[in-house]
Amino acid sequence: MTKVYVGMSGGVDSSLTAALLVEQGYDVTGVYMKNWTQDLPGMRCPWADDLADAKRVAVQLGIDFKVFDFETEYRHKVVEYMIDEYTLGRTPNPDIMCNQEVKFKLFLDAAIDDGADMIATGHYAKVDNGVLKMAVDANKDQTYFLYRVTGAALTKTLFPLGEFTKPRVREMARERGLFTAAKKDSQGICFVGKVGIREFLSLYVEQVPGKIIDKNSGKVLGHHDGAIFYTLGQRHGLDLGGGLPYYVIGKDMGKNEVYVTTDLNDGTLWRSNVELAAVHWINAAPRNGDFAIRVRHRAKLTPASIAITDTRAQLQLHDPERAVAAGQSVVIYDGDVCLGGGIVV
Amino acid sequence: MNTSEFIYLDHAAATPLDDRVLDAMRPYFSDLFYNPSSPYAPAVSIRRDYEAAKQTIAECIGATADELVMTAGATESINLAFGSVNGHVISSAIEHHAVLAATRQHDHTLVDCDERGRIDPQSIRAAIKDDTMLVSIALANNELGTLQPLRDIAEVLRSEREARRVRGNTTPIYLHSDASQGVGQLDVNVARLGVDMMTVNAAKVYGPKQMGLLWAQRHIPLTPHIVGGGQERGLRSGTENVAGTIGFARAMQLADKGRKAEAERLRELRDGLEKRLMGAFKQAVVSGHKKHRLPGHLHISFPSVDAERLIFGLEARGVLVATGSACAANKGTRSHVLTAIGLAPEIADGSLRISLGKLSTIENSAQAGDILIDVINNEIDRMAKR
């Protein structure tokens, strides 16, 4: 019998994942990955409750349950990466890093070492012979977060939820009487989910006041408490008073300056030429040509011509995209197959 | 106090509010809302009710009302007791976290217990230093249910006082006990226990939560840590919790009246359950003192079984019980009590704490026994198949 270790977070998705695999005849072990256990100011980290819920469902399903402790690695590979990237004035995606470094590397290796044949998670995606495909539920599809996973890892991975819509997942969880059937979904990456990225970063980086400057007039419009807290295209939180809304169109981290405009059509806000670094292909690199791309999770697919050189790729977007910030990922698709992607330079 | 869909076996964690207690409290949430410190007649009447309730509580523990400080629970009472001494303190390795945390704020010694959770009064004697001001030992241990020889410990303190007098050492030494776990089942007369200070929690005796008391002999100078309007003789400021105190008094009264019969009833139920479980699982281990144990309390371990899985399995079958040790979510730390009695980890991790009380009946205890045996057997079978 194939031995599958399921990453169980205590949420409804991974609970149903485990339940479905048990029904499909796999020898299932539930694993809670302990990644982050710190309470943040004003917010109680729910990890202990989540762990208890995961275990409760494991008991309900009559499967083994283990806790893998990745707290140290998670801090180094995900949290520090995120803080470093923001410090450089970029906009990183910690969920992508977590999948690349923790779930589909550390967890996979630890599970195999522990005797597993395969792993499974509650991601909304499909996997077919090491090929990553979009989930049936286009609204929930999580391939954007998975593009840095390797094909080798995917050959040892099951995503049972890729075939179902989220409402159907809840319904199936309810039908099976799973304890977590009605549990609210967590929002974004656990440790910043509730406090927000700004509060989170301010625990780690000093707040240094700087100028907010109108790009066109060069006029100082006001002050901010650190350019690190601002990201391209951002409108909220500028606190510049009434009138037309201002948008962030650039920053100078050295001068700690944030540049803004009221011009929604500003050239920096809309980009057609995007250069990617650290490109990653799940399987073989595609040939140069036209593909569909996605610049953020749940963004609509948009056509682009792609020219790959070594670890970089030049994208010529057929229609310009708004607020494509350095540090964020662009993911490339061929039909419903997620090929890989890279990080905006 | 309606019995719900659950069979509740965790009276040591919380007790349901007795209907009669709720009835007694109810008017003080609505019509009788006046501030007991106000001068007009309806408020004065509430002041009288409040004082009468304290009098009732005092009588239940063999004390006088002016020796009581009403608090918001046992933890506050313990903090008040410890905050009133300024010297070395002695406590035991198996005390509740509230006492352990308060102990650590002082120069302190934690004495060990034996493998049944009993503290040897001689170990207290050995730990006493010239500046020891407080010894704090719970009447009954909250995990094992083991009862402590408080009278003998009081005797150790009495002889120490005598010795200090002879030596000309004027440092006082007090015996404090948190009697919360025993109050519904045991005699809590302060003179008979031999204590100088005692903490009681209403929430463990079918009274309201956030309601407790510290009793201290009149001559003991207490240091308030909540200051303000000077209520409770200046020892605990803040408008009196009238409803809570009324409820506490009613709960103490009910406990006092029915204590003996209830203890006997619980002992029979507990012994029956213990016998069944020990019969069904030869490898099971009962911890705590066989004789000196809370009548409704059973700490039982199933070696190599994960107790937390049992908790969830039992919960799904409608039986609510506590793990006798740590849960995985508790950073994997094992219970300090089980460590102190030297229980091996694989036994400790399979521990359940079963505490019976008013919600326990012959019928639901028998049913709980069936379910416990079934769930534990399922888990043992599951493990065997691996």
CATH 3.40.640.10 residue spans of chain B: 19-255
| A142-150: average pLDDT | 97
Give phi and psi for B207, each to the nearest 5.
Answer: -105, -175
Task: Give the domain ranges of chain A.
Answer: 3-193, 206-261, 270-344
Query: Could you tell me the pLDDT band of residue A164, with boundaries at 50, 70 and 90?
Result: very high
- Chain B residues in contact with A67 by the CB 8 A cut-off are 328, 332
Give the pLDDT score at A198. 82
CA–CA separation, B365 vs B269, rounded Å? 7
The residues of A assigned a catalytic role are: 98, 190
Give the pLDDT score at A194. 63
| B255-270: average pLDDT | 96
* CB-based contact, B315 to chain A, within 8 Å: yes
CATH fold of B19-255 reads Aspartate Aminotransferase; domain 2 (3.40.640)
Report yes or no: A225 and A238 within 8 Å, Cβ to Cβ: no
Residues of A contacting chain B (CB within 8 angstroms) = 37, 47-49, 51-52, 55-56, 58-60, 62, 64-65, 67
Give the pLDDT score at B236. 97
Mutate to test the interface with A, among B308, B331, B381 (most CBs of A within 10 A): B308
CA–CA separation, B69 vs B352, rounded Å? 35
Strand pairing of A118-120 and A64-69? unpaired
| A-to-B residue pairs, Cβ atoms closer than 8 angstroms | 29
Where helices occur in chain A by DSSP H, the ranges are: 12-23, 47-61, 71-74, 80-87, 94-97, 108-113, 143-146, 151-154, 166-175, 190-193, 197-202
Query: Could you tell me the pLDDT band of residue B10, with boundaries at 50, 70 and 90?
Result: very high
Q: Please indicate whether, in this complex, the C-beta atoms of A60 and B312 are within 8 angstroms of each other.
A: yes
* CB-based contact, B313 to chain A, within 8 Å: yes
Query: Which residue in the list B32, B43, B220, B327 is annotated as catalytic?
Result: B327
Measured at the CA of B102, the angle between CA B174 and CA A43, to 5 degrees, comes to 160
Q: Please indicate whether, in this complex, the C-beta atoms of B329 and A59 are within 8 angstroms of each other.
A: no
Q: Give the global pTM.
A: 0.90
CATH 3.90.1150.10 residue spans of chain B: 7-14+259-385
- Chain A residues in contact with B309 by the CB 8 A cut-off are 55, 58-59, 65
- Give percent of chain A above pLDDT 70: 96
Report yes or no: B231 and B238 within 8 Å, Cβ to Cβ: yes
Is the predicted pLDDT of residue A191 greater than 80, yes or no?
no
User: What one-character-per-residue DSSP string does A296-323 give?
Assistant: STTPPPEEEEEEEETTEEEEEEEEEEE-
Model confidence pLDDT, tens digit, residues B215-250: 999 999 999 999 999 999 999 999 999 999 999 999
Name the region of A62 (left: φ>0; alpha: ψ -120 to 50; beta: rest). Answer: left
Model confidence pLDDT, tens digit, residues A20-35: 999 999 999 999 999 9
Q: Please indicate whether, in this complex, the C-beta atoms of A62 and B308 are within 8 angstroms of each other.
A: no
Q: Please indicate whether, in this complex, the C-beta atoms of A55 and B386 are within 8 angstroms of each other.
A: no
| B78-89: average pLDDT | 98
Nearest-CA distance A29 → chain B (Å): 11
Both tokens assigned to A171:
């319904």
Q: Please indicate whether, in this complex, the C-beta atoms of A49 and B316 are within 8 angstroms of each other.
A: no
Give the pLDDT score at B196. 98
Nearest Cβ partner of A51 from B315, B329, B382? B329
Which CATH superfamily, name and number, covers B7-14+259-385? Answer: Aspartate Aminotransferase, domain 1 (3.90.1150.10)
The DSSP code for B370 is H
Is the predicted pLDDT of residue A196 greater than 80, yes or no?
no
Query: Could you tell me the pLDDT band of residue B31, with boundaries at 50, 70 and 90?
Result: very high
| A96-112: average pLDDT | 97
Q: How many CB atoms lie within 10 A of CB B235?
A: 22
Model confidence pLDDT, tens digit, residues B329-349: 455 578 899 999 999 999 999
CA–CA separation, B276 vs B377, rounded Å? 13
Residues 6+ apart with CB under 8 A from A52: A10, B327, B328, B329
Where helices occur in B31-73 by DSSP H, the ranges are: 41-60
Query: Could you tell me the pLDDT band of residue B385, with boundaries at 50, 70 and 90?
Result: confident
Give the pLDDT score at A264. 84
- Give percent of chain B above pLDDT 70: 97
Give phi and psi for A57, each to the nearest 5.
Answer: -70, -40
Amino acid type, A79? V
Give the pLDDT score at B280. 98
Residues 6+ apart with CB under 8 A from A21: A4, A6, A28, A120, A158, A160
* CB-based contact, B316 to chain A, within 8 Å: yes
SS3 content of chain B, % helix, strand, coil (to 5): 45, 15, 40
Give the pLDDT score at B330. 54
Report yes or no: A340 and A332 within 8 Å, Cβ to Cβ: yes
Distances (CA, A) of A293 to A174, A233, A307, B235: 36, 19, 13, 70
CA–CA separation, A125 vs A119, rounded Å? 14
| B183-194: average pLDDT | 95
Closest-CA residue of chain A to B331: A48
The interface predicted TM-score (ipTM) is 0.87
Query: Could you tell me the pLDDT band of residue A245, with boundaries at 50, 70 and 90?
Result: confident
| Architecture of the CATH domain A270-344 | Beta Barrel (2.40)
Helix (H) or strand (E) holding A280: strand A270-281
Mean pLDDT of chain B: 95
What is A206-261's CATH number, 1.10.150.20, 2.30.30.280, 3.40.228.10, 3.30.450.40? 2.30.30.280
CA–CA separation, A147 vs A338, rounded Å? 7
As beta bridge partners, residue A33 has A68
Q: Please indicate whether, in this complex, the C-beta atoms of B312 and A47 are within 8 angstroms of each other.
A: no
Burial class (CB in 10 A: 0-12, 13-18, 19+), B193: buried
Give the pLDDT score at B11. 96
Residues 6+ apart with CB under 8 A from A292: A301, A302, A303, A304, A332, A333, A334
Q: Quick one: angle between helices A12-23 and A166-175, nearest 10?
A: 60
The DSSP code for B335 is P
Nearest Cβ partner of A55 from B312, B378, B386? B312
Closest-CA residue of chain B to A55: B309
Report yes or no: B13 and B322 within 8 Å, Cβ to Cβ: yes
Give the pLDDT score at B211. 98
CA–CA separation, B143 vs B241, rounded Å? 30
As beta bridge partners, residue A271 has A321
Nearest-CA distance A57 → chain B (Å): 9
CA–CA separation, B353 vs B13, rounded Å? 10
Give phi and psi for B113, each to the nearest 5.
Answer: -125, 175
CA–CA separation, A71 vs A37, rounded Å? 8
Give the pLDDT score at A192. 67
Closest-CA residue of chain A to B306: A65
Report yes or no: A328 and A296 within 8 Å, Cβ to Cβ: yes
Give the pLDDT score at A190. 63
Give the pLDDT score at A37. 82
Model confidence pLDDT, tens digit, residues A266-321: 888 899 999 999 999 999 999 999 999 999 999 999 999 999 999 999 999 999 99
CA–CA separation, A158 vs A120, rounded Å? 5
Q: How many CB atoms lie within 10 A of CB B170?
A: 7
* Residue with tokens 């391939």, as numbered in its chain: A143
Please, what CATH class does the domain formed by A3-193 belong to?
A: alpha beta
Mutate to test the interface with B, among A38, A59, A65 (most CBs of B within 10 A): A59
Query: Could you tell me the pLDDT band of residue A240, with boundaries at 50, 70 and 90?
Result: confident
Nearest Cβ partner of B309 from A48, A49, A59? A59
Both tokens assigned to B365:
């205890």
Is the predicted pLDDT of residue A337 greater than 60, yes or no?
yes
Model confidence pLDDT, tens digit, residues B191-213: 999 999 999 999 999 999 999 99
Q: Which is nearest to A10 in space by CA: A195, A183, A194?
A: A183
